[in-house]
Chain A
Amino acid sequence: MSPVRELDVAEITAAVREMCMTANYDLPDDVYEALKTGTQTEESPVGKAVFEQLVENADIARADRVPMCQDTGFAVFFVNVGQDVHLGGGSFEEALNEGVRRGYRDGFLRKSIAAEPAHARRNTTDNTPCVVHTSIVPGDRVELWMMAKGGGAENMSSLTMLKPSQGWPGMVQAVLDTVSRAGANPCPPIVLGVGIGGTIDMVTVLAKKALLRDIGSVPADERIAGMEAELLAKVNLLGIGPQGLGGTQTCLAVFIEEMPCHIASMPMAVNVQCHAQRHKHVVL
């Protein structure tokens, strides 16, 4: 038996507080570089000006410690908990929520979560609850990934239950339909997380998990890499462009996660992400 490592959940709260703030102030380097590249590669003059504004916006946010976007998002976590860790000192999920509460309060971040969505839509006033996807993994570490997911792009996402006979062409069309319908709404240039396979619940989790990848990263599986490249090229032929004002750079990256599915099914989810692709990663 491996020795059990003790970890106080207060450490999780402290890490989460910090992640919420830095995610909103400091655009990750991979996204920043992609925006800088866009100022060179975008063919539309208006689109080029949008890329320049977005680079300047990221610089201001980083320097002034203000959120790059007023929609500071729904806090979404993927957590890998090592099976040789014992979490003490309180509830794990409450520790995450407390970190969100402190981060959004101390960081002057907007509270954007509404309770009783069908009726009262009452603001919970502290941006909780967060969304948590936990996996138990080998080892004695706790690894956290955080995303601040804005509402505008999330609203443009889609879930499609295709017929297996529709195959890859059906999937390509579903992605193009999703992006086309979204147009200017999700704040292009966008990033797409595409989930393929599983069940209706798993496929959307896969799509969201895909968004944790860095722009420029290439999947080990060449087949997946080819699918991502094909989707990116086709989406960028739509002409939507930065902010939907017309242009050649609608999408910065497409990331695919797949898993096996039922013989009768072909689930596909497209999680649309705005250019403010705020994601953070820590290991405790």
Chain B
Amino acid sequence: MPAKKITTPLTDEVVRGLRAGDEVAISGVVYQARDAAHKRLVALIEAGEPLPFELQGAVVYYMGPSPAGPGKVIGSAGPTTSGRMDAYAPLLMAHGLKGMIGKGLRTPEVKQAMVDTTAVYFAATGGAGALLSRRIVGNEVIAYPELGAEAIARLEVKDFPAIVVNDCYGADLYEEGRKKYAREA
């Protein structure tokens, strides 16, 4: 099945059209943010202060790149383990976040928040940072440059390959995929 082409920011209608197991090609802007950036974003929301980017419809990419070599847009740029952002994700979804790109398992609370707020979780291939970096065509640090690889950057992606793991209906590809191939010893 060919990948579904989707463009950011995401609307509820687009999110409702995505099902666990769908392969997607994402184009548009995604925001790079990992551990330290999430801690700061949540602190801003709790203090009622403005965020460095528009959260409504936004997609975040859990990623901290390696430094860009000469003439390169970005260095190696694959996903990091999403579970470390689980403590922050529900609050961001409650404030408009629609998509997350990462790798690895999410907590039941995060999955429930996706159902409640109509949001989606995509996995990109972990450890394929050289390949994925070729789908990132623009890169601008917009907040916390002092965090280095953990800064927030506005990334322009073109046909970025990912797969829907958790959809807004509560389905989980990690659980379903594993069940399908598990064998008795």
Contact = CB atoms under 8 A, between A and B. Distances in A.
Contacts of A70: 63-66, 75-78, 80, 129, 149
A163 interface: no
A237 B103 CA distance: 22
A44 B165 CA distance: 16
Given A67-B129, A187-B127, A152 B181 contact: no
A237 B183 contact: yes
B130 A241 contact: no
Contacts of B177: 44, 46, 239, 241, 244-247
Nearest to B181: A239
Contacts of A247: 177, 181
A265 B27 CA distance: 55
A110 interface: yes
A244 B178 contact: yes
B174 interface: yes
Nearest to B75: A108
B133 interface: yes
B131 interface: yes
A185 B105 contact: yes
B174 A244 contact: yes
B137 interface: no
Contacts of A58: 130
Contact of A239 (B36, B65, B126, B182): B182
A185 B183 CA distance: 21
B151 to A, nearest CB: 11
Interface residues of B, number: 47
Contact of A69 (B127, B163, B165, B184): B127
A100 interface: no
B78 A53 contact: no
B128 interface: yes
A274 B148 contact: no
Contacts of B57: none
Interface string B157-168: 000010101000
A210 interface: no
A110 B65 contact: yes
Interface string A146-185: 0000111001000000000000000000000000000111
A71 interface: yes
A184 B129 contact: no
Contacts of A199: none
B164 to A, nearest CB: 11
B11 interface: no
Interface in B65-124: 65-69, 72, 75-78, 80-81, 83, 103-105, 123
Contacts of B54: none
Q: Which of B63, B69, B72, B179 has the most A CB atoms < 10 Å from its CB?
A: B69
Interface string A92-118: 000000000000000011111000000
Interface string A126-160: 00000000000000000000000011100100000
Contacts of B103: 152, 184-185, 187, 243-244
A72 interface: yes
A111 B105 contact: no
Contacts of A68: 76, 127-130
A125 interface: yes
B113 to A, nearest CB: 19
B80 A244 contact: no
Interface of B: 21, 36, 63-69, 72, 75-78, 80-81, 83, 103-105, 123, 125-131, 133-134, 148-149, 161, 163, 165, 173-174, 176-185
Given A155-B81, A185-B105, 9 more contacts: A56-B131, A66-B130, A70-B77, A123-B148, A152-B104, A185-B83, A187-B127, A243-B103, A246-B177
Interface of A: 43-44, 46, 50, 53-54, 56-58, 60-61, 64-72, 108-112, 121, 123, 125, 150-152, 155, 183-185, 187, 234, 237-241, 243-248, 274-276
